[in-house]
């Protein structure tokens, strides 16, 4: 949502700017770049769609990327997506989308 990378603190010009204007001011101004999402009015259906969108977008971007200017990163997202819902009025969670788990042929031989 914020597009934040914790490595932002090692960028020399931003570190210098933070020292000049103050870390709090810099953080407050960077926070203005955050997408405004009306969480309080979001329906459960829309929340599920947003979660799926964010996961799919991250996975798609990582499939084309080898990282940032800070060095290569291994993709950490991909494959089928499971989505569960946790509601305060229900105990536990319920699956909205779930892949079937199965053993591959190689794993069956090991067992």
> What pLDDT score was predicted for residue 110?
52
Assess whether pLDDT exceeds 70 at residue 81: yes
| 95, β-bridge pairs | 84
For residue 39, the 8-state DSSP code is G
Taking the C-alpha atoms of residue 83 and residue 81, their distance in angstroms, rounded to an integer, is 6
Position with higher pLDDT, 20 vs 10: 20
The pTM (predicted TM-score) of the whole model is 0.65
Report the C-alpha dihedral over residues 23, 28, 32, 33, rounded to 10 degrees.
Answer: 30
Distance separating alpha carbons of residues 88 and 11, to the nearest angstrom: 42
pLDDT in tens, 3-12: 667 777 788 9
């Amino acid at each position: 949502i914020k597009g934040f990378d914790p490595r932002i603190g090692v960028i020399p010009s931003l570190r210098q700017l933070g020292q000049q204007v103050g870390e709090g001011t810099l953080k407050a101004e960077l926070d203005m770049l955050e997408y405004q999402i009306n969480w309080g009015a979001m329906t459960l259906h829309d929340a599920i769609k947003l979660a799926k969108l964010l996961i799919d977008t991250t996975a798609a971007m990582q499939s084309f990327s080898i990282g940032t200017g800070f060095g290569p990163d291994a993709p950490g997202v991909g494959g089928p997506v499971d989505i569960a819902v946790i509601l305060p009025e229900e105990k536990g969670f319920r699956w909205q989308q779930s892949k079937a788990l199965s053993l591959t042929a190689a794993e069956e031989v090991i067992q």
